[in-house]
Amino acid sequence: MYSWEIKEFLKSKNNLISNEEYFEICKSSQISHIKYEPHENIFHIWTKDKFEFVFRVKKVEELEELKAKEYKKEKN
C-alpha cells in the first residue's frame, strides 16, 4: 500500500482496524518504523515519505460486539 492508500483506508475505518487489516498495512514497502503504546492500545506508523499514522487495532471482544451489532441490523 502507498501512504495515501493507508491514509484513506484508516480514515474510512475511523482509525480503528482489525488484526488482519493491520498486518496488511505492515506489508507496505513504505513503512519505515512502527511504535506500539500498550497502555493506550495505540499504534504509530511512519512511512519513508514522511507520513505518520496513529490508530488502534480492535480487540477480539470489540470485533465480536461489532459483528453482533451488524447481525442485529441485518435481521431488522
pTM of the full structure: 0.75
User: Which structural domain, as residue segments, surrounds residue 20?
Assistant: 3-75
Give phi and psi for 48, each to the nearest 5.
Answer: -65, -25
Average pLDDT score, the chain:
89
Identify whether the C-beta of residue 43 lies closer than 8 Å to the C-beta of residue 57: yes
Largest CA distance in the chain: 46
- Would you place residue 10 in the very low, low, confident or very high pLDDT band (cuts 50, 70, 90)? very high
C-alpha cell at 51: 507520513
Domain count, the chain: 1
Identify residue 9 by its one-letter amino acid code. F
Q: What percentage of the chain exceeds 90 in pLDDT?
A: 66
- In this prediction, residue 63 has a pLDDT band, given cuts at 50, 70 and 90, of low
For 33, the grid coordinates are 518504523
User: What is the distance, to the nearest Å, from the Cα of residue 6 to the centroid of all Cα atoms in its chain?
Assistant: 9
Q: Quick one: average pLDDT of 31-39?
A: 95
Provide mean pLDDT across the span 9-33. Answer: 94
